[in-house]
Each structure stands twice: as C-alpha cells, then as structure tokens.
C-alpha cells in the first residue's frame, strides 16, 4: 500500500491546482489520486486509513465538479454515501472520527446539490445524514465510542495517547471573568447555562467553588438535590490531547495572556495567530459553537501540530513562513456591553467565515484574505495584532447576526433530538433569549410544547428586545419622556440605541422571511416539489451510473 502521507500530499496538491486553475496538471494529479484511492479502498481495519479514504473521495468529487463534464461525479457521490452508511457499524471508528466523516460527506452532498440546483433540480439529503447524531453522546461528541474501551490517540499529534485531563477548550483567562458569578478570574467559579439552540436542550452548571446560596442568587431557587450533584465541568474536557500537546498549547496561551492582561505591550503575530487558530480548532473538536469544514479543520490541525513550540523558550524564536496557511481573522472589543447576556457563542457555520462571540470580544476567522470583507483590520502571522474598539450597537448587531445564522441552520426547523447539534455556553441567567413561534403568534417555545410543532418555523426575540417589550407592557401609562428615562435607568440602553435595535431586528432578513403568512405555504410547496424531483432524479442517477459503467467496459 502507498504511504498515506504521500496520498495526503497528492490531495493537497489537487486542491492547490484547482485554486490555480491549472487544468493540465490537475488531470495528471487526478489520475494519480484515483489510483491511490483504489490502493486503499478495501481497508476496513485502520481508522486513519478509512478517514483518508473519505478525504480521497471528497477530493475526487470536487475535481469532477470543477471539471464539470457529464455528471461524472454522480457514481462517486453514491459510493461515498454508501461508505458513510457502512461506517455506522464499523467498531474501529470512534465517535469523533464518525463525526468528522459525516461532516465531510454532508459538505460534499451539499456541493453536489448546488450543481443540481443550477440545472433546476432539487434533491433531499440522504437518510444517513438526516439521522446523523442519533448514536452520539448528548453533550460530548468528542467522547470515545462506548464500543471501544481502549484509549485513543491525541487529536492534535495523533501519536501519543490522549490522557490529558481538564483541557480548557477556550483558555481560562479568556472566559472566566465573564462566566464566573462574581466576575472573578479564579478557576471553578463559573455559573453557566449549556444550551443546544437547535433543540432547546439546556443544562445549568456551576464550578466546585460556587456556594449553594450563590447558585440560588443566579437561577432562583434550585433544588438541594441538584445543587449537591457533582456535574461534569462546563469549561473543560478530558482525553482530547496528550499531556505534551496540552503543554504546547499552554506555552502559546501563557505568552498571549501577558498581552491580553496588559502585562506586556506587544505580542508577536506568530503567537496571536496560533492562539486564535487553537481556540477555534479546540471548540470545533469538542462540538462547542464552532463547526469548521473538514478541509479547514484538517489544515488548522496540521498548522498547529507542525508550528506550535515544544518548550516555552521556543515561543520567542517562532518564525512564520508560507506553510502557516492563508487563514486570517478580525478582532473587535466592546468596553460597554450594558446588560447583554455574555457567553461563548458561534455561528455554527460549516464554512468560512467562522464567527465567535467571546464575552466582550467578537472574532471572525476567514479561510483566506480574499473572503475577509467586514471592514475591520485583518490579522495574520505577518503583522502585529490589531483589535478594533466598537460601539455597543455594533456589538449588538453582530450578536443578532450570529444568532440569526444559528437560527437559520439549526433552529428554524425544530428537532427534539439534541444530538448532532452544537453546544453554546452562556453566563448563568434566570431569563435569557426568548424563543417564539411564527406564524402561530406569540407562543413561547419550550420542551413541553415543542412536540406539537416539530418542523415548524421559529424565530428568536433577542433578550434586549424582550426586556424592552416587557418594560413597555408593565408601564403602559408612562409619558414618553418618563418611559425612556426608565428604560435607560433599568437596562442602560439609550433611546437612540433601543430604537435602532428594534428597527434592525424587525428588518432582519430571517425575521421578515419567517413572519410572512406565506412561509408555511411555501414550505409545503417545497416539500411537494422535492418529492416529485426525487422520483425524476432516481431514474437519472441510474441512467448516469449505467452510462459510466458502459464507458468502463469499452
């Protein structure tokens, strides 16, 4: 069998040639890749080779989509879907590996469906992708499959056993101040709500150093039995990394924390670049608020593994080069977030840009400079990090946009099953964002009444708008001047800010689309059209497959 590392290089080269539009060289590399794939196709006992098989198939299909010749990819797409189905019963695969495989297959099917849509055809997602997540652990998709009791390799280096305990997915100095109940930066003082927005599943958690009476101050009266239960940490995970790779992350974090906490005036661009790539990658592997595409996740892991220092002294001698990739990011900070609920929330996108709300900070990660279009200073490994200070209203709009993307991807079509959905983390609060159904009216959406509305469209009322509406309802006879004074005194929003917030929310594309009376009618029409197209294209797939087989037999 050919060296897997050589096959990986062939895959990277193929993607590079697609970007360069070098069709002649791409044809040569494509034939080599097909030969390499046939070399490894029968291996079912090595989980790393199985993962490589899927990355090979993905690259082959993308090359065919790029060439755009006679639907040649159709048979390969069907083969990839069948292979993904077979993976469900393969005991050598961990849950993490299954997770990564299904994400890649999902990306490929969507890319193929875009090809069909350009030709006026719509196809439903395969059943294996619709059912993705039903076999996973509720909140920890990174946990090893129960069928495999032996330890697994480090998710970064892939060499040593992943035995590191208490790994922070986002560094403690970055999140503790806004997740702790008293604003302290000390460990184990967090009081949070774990939320799966795609299913409304929630779980409240607190650190070991939080007193029972402080829990009640945040959540109201909590049963003593619940307070006495020892819950898994909300901000750490076990068995993701080996101890050595955990240390490598700590070397970068230590250097960046000096800059973040104003102990140092500067930090090298290499350190800040690796720091933020590490944050996004670790959130991704744990199923926390960020879902990287399979290609981006692989590229970032490769950069981190090859470029992170092995000792603290090595941090000062880091020198970047072209092998550090094309990723870049923008960073914003809002010093006055007023009464907004802070947390660790992402846009759940499976392609660039990836957006992250981290307390008072907003970070957007881009796969390359060409796609960075938000107007803020662009950071990479070549120049010193720049952080833009923004007004509250800009911070708030970014938050609404992020929640709107989550709503569009996971929440608009409700699913009672929380599995396969990403987890977001918010500071403990007795209220929070208010979920409503449309167009059924202002009916509160929760786990109790969700069963009768599964599959219905939904929208989110931001917590700030909800506070304004509740205040207005409880002060109906106040004069305009007295009303606005009361709002500002109670919540800190000025009249101008609140008017802009209400206007922005009411004109948000997600809300306008979902509150339309014709939204359900259009939804039913799409389903009917999908059924008829499915029948037509089933015959079309068989015809394309027979044509390809006939060409092979010649």
pTM of the model: 0.63
Q: Is the peptide bond before 272 cis (omega within 30 degrees of 0)?
A: no
Domain boundary, last residue among 83, 107, 130:
130
User: How many residues are recorded in the chain?
Assistant: 554
Does some domain include residue 145?
Answer: no
Q: Are 119 and 97 in contact (CB under 8 A)?
A: no
Asked whether residue 68 is assigned to any structural domain, the reply reads: yes
Q: Do the domain assignments include residue 225?
A: yes
Residue 375 belongs to a domain:
yes
Answer yes or no: do 310 and 229 share one domain: yes
Q: Of the candidates 357, 289, 369, which has an alpha carbon nearest to the alpha carbon of residue 327? A: 369
| Predicted pLDDT of residue 164 | 92
pLDDT (average), residues 509-521? 50
- The answer to whether position 426 is within a domain reads no
Judgement on whether residues 481 and 377 belong to the same structural domain of the protein: no
Taking alpha carbons only, the member of 128, 118, 115 closest to residue 54 is 128
CA–CA separation, 442 vs 520, rounded Å? 16
d(CA 109, CA 120): 16
Note whether 111 and 239 are same-domain residues.
no
% of the chain residues with pLDDT over 70: 77
> Is the pLDDT score of 29 beyond 50?
yes
When divided into structural domains, the chain yields a total of: 3
The answer to whether residues 339 and 190 belong to one domain is yes
250 lies in the same domain as 194: yes
Whether residue 231 sits in one domain with residue 116: no
pLDDT tens across 73-126, in order?
888 888 888 888 888 777 788 766 777 788 788 888 888 888 877 777 766 666
384 φ, ψ (degrees, to nearest 5)? -60, 145
Hey, how many other C-beta atoms are within 10 angstroms of the C-beta on 311?
10
Residue 242 near residue 162 (C-beta atoms within 8 A)? yes
Domain range for 481 is: 431-516
Residues 209 and 64 in one domain: no
Query: What are the residues whose beta carbons fall under 8 Å from the beta carbon of 63, sequence distance 6 or more?
Result: 14, 18, 26, 30, 33
User: pLDDT band at residue 360, thresholds of 50, 70 and 90?
Assistant: very high
Do 314 and 251 have their domain in common?
A: yes
Concatenated DSSP letters for 405-474? HHIIIIISS--S--TTSPBEEEE--SS--EEEESSS-SPBP-TTT-GGGTT--EEEE-HHHHHHHHHHHH
Assess whether 212 and 111 both reside in one domain.
Answer: no
Sign (positive/negative) of CA torsion 220, 190, 330, 373?
Answer: negative
Q: Residue 437 pLDDT more than 60?
A: no
Q: Are 360 and 333 spatial neighbours (Cβ–Cβ below 8 Å)?
A: yes
Give, in degrees to the nearest 5, the angle at Cα 467 between 461 and 471.
Answer: 130
Q: How far is residue 165 CA from its own chain's centroid?
A: 23
CA distances from 359 to 141, 318, 422 (A): 24, 29, 18
Q: How confident is the model at residue 157 (pLDDT cuts 50, 70, 90)?
A: very high
Task: Kindly state whether residues 390 and 495 are assigned to the same domain.
Answer: no
Res. 147: pLDDT tops 80? no
Asked if residue 233 belongs to a domain, the reply is: yes
The answer on 474 and 397 residing in a single domain is: no
Residues linked to residue 214 through DSSP beta bridges, in sequence order:
none
Give the pLDDT confidence of 172-222 residue by residue, as tens digits: 888 888 888 887 777 788 888 777 665 556 778 888 888 888 888 887 778
Tell whether 41 is covered by a domain.
yes
Please check whether residues 124 and 184 belong to one and the same domain. Answer: no
Is residue 247 domain-resident? yes
């Amino acid at each position: 069998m050919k060296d897997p590392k050589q096959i990986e290089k062939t895959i990277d080269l193929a993607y590079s040639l697609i970007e360069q539009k070098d069709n002649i060289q791409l044809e040569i590399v494509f034939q080599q890749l097909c030969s390499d794939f046939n070399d490894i196709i029968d291996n079912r006992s090595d989980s790393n080779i199985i993962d490589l098989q899927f990355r090979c198939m993905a690259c082959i299909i993308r090359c065919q989509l790029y060439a755009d010749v006679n639907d040649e990819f159709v048979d390969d797409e069907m083969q990839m879907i069948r292979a993904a189905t077979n993976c469900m019963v393969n005991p050598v695969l961990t849950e993490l590996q299954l997770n990564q495989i299904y994400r890649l297959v999902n990306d490929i099917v969507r890319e193929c469906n875009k090809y069909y849509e350009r030709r006026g055809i719509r196809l439903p997602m395969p059943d294996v992708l619709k059912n993705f997540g039903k076999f996973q652990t509720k909140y920890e998709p990174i946990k090893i499959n129960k069928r495999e009791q032996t330890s697994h390799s480090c998710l970064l280096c892939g060499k040593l056993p992943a035995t590191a305990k208490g790994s922070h997915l986002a560094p403690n100095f970055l999140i503790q101040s806004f997740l702790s109940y008293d604003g302290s930066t000390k460990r184990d003082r967090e009081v949070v709500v774990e939320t799966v927005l795609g299913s409304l599943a929630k779980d409240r958690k607190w650190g070991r150093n939080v007193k029972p009476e402080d829990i009640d101050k945040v959540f109201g009266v909590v049963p003593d039995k619940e307070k006495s239960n020892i819950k898994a940490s909300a901000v750490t995970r076990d068995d993701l990394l080996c101890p050595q790779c955990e240390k490598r992350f700590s070397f970068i974090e230590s250097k960046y924390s000096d800059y973040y906490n104003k102990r140092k005036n500067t930090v090298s661009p290499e350190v800040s670049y690796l720091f933020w790539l590490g944050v996004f990658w670790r959130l991704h592997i744990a199923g926390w608020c960020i879902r990287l595409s399979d290609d981006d996740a692989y590229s970032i892991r490769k950069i981190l593994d090859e470029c992170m220092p092995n000792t603290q002294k090595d941090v000062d001698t880091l020198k970047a080069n072209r092998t550090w990739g094309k990723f870049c990011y923008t960073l914003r900070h809002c010093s006055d977030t007023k009464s907004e609920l802070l947390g660790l929330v992402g846009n759940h996108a499976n392609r660039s840009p990836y957006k992250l709300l981290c307390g008072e900070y907003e970070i957007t990660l881009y796969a390359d400079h060409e796609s960075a279009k938000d107007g803020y200073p662009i950071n990479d490994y070549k120049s010193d990090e720049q952080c833009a200070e923004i007004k509250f209203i800009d911070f708030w709009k970014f938050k609404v946009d992020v929640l709107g993307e989550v709503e569009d991807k996971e929440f608009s079509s409700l699913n009672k099953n929380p599995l396969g959905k990403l987890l977001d983390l918010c500071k403990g609060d007795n209220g929070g964002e208010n979920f409503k159904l449309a167009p059924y009216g202002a009916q509160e959406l929760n786990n109790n009444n969700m069963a009768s509305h599964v599959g219905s469209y939904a929208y989110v009322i931001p917590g700030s708008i909800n506070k304004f509406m509740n205040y207005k309802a409880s002060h109906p006879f106040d004069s305009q001047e007295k009303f606005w004074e009361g709002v500002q005194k109670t919540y800190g929003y000025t009249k101008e800010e609140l008017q802009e917030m209400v206007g922005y929310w009411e004109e948000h594309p997600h809300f306008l689309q979902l509150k339309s009376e014709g939204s359900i009618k259009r939804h039913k029409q799409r389903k009917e059209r999908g059924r008829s197209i499915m029948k037509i294209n089933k015959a079309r797939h068989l015809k394309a497959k027979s044509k390809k087989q006939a060409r092979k037999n010649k």
